[in-house]
Structure 1
Amino acid sequence: MLVVDDDPDVRELVAIKLAKNGHQVTAVADGPAALRAVREAKVDVVLLDVVMPQMSGLDVLRELRADSATEKLRVILLTARTQEADVEVGLSAGADDYLTKPFTLRELTERVQAVLAPTET
């Protein structure tokens, strides 16, 4: 799993929770680092903050979807943007799910399991 969030507290909390659930987790702070990490390691799911400096999560998502090597990578957007239009933009950009902040760790775990479920059957 790859956790991408410019907030170190959110990034660390999410990474710790996922690791406790048995996932191998890499955590990075920005979009360019996320793209490097995806290309350098096997990643099943990306948990991607939308609002970040340098490169937005939506821009990262669009790059992932435009590359045949990463186009099917599962992506969950994590964001404080809660408006219906924001959700539509995220999903239409290719996100597999959209989780608004603040979220509970249980909800995060359930969403991750849901996007992984098709490959575990």
Structure 2
Amino acid sequence: MLPIELQNYLHDHSPLSKAMEVSVMSVQENAVVLPAPLGPNINHRETVFGGSASALAILAAWSLLYARLRTEGINSRLVIQRNTMEYEQPILGELIARASLDNPEEWQKFK
């Protein structure tokens, strides 16, 4: 799947991704990278809004699975079951979320 294909899908099917101005930097077999600018994701302290950081992380993880399943021709409906996040320091500019398969050999078990 090309980055622009995934980006268009996200913007068409997840309006929040469009409002956040999420783009797709790369789509690989075992990793996806999604950046978003500070502007539409800013909070009252002029840093990234925590909800935007969380949403981008979720979008990256979902996108990795979606792209991989689609590439393999597997029709599915992905639903996020749970999300936790720790905010260790403010994000002062563009935010970038990278989702990757830590153990690609477990992909068959996931399918």
- TM-score scaled by structure 2? 0.30
* Larger Cα-atom Rg: 2
Q: TM-score, normalised on structure 1? A: 0.28
Q: Which has the higher helix share?
A: 1
Higher relative contact order (CA 8 A, sep 6+): 2
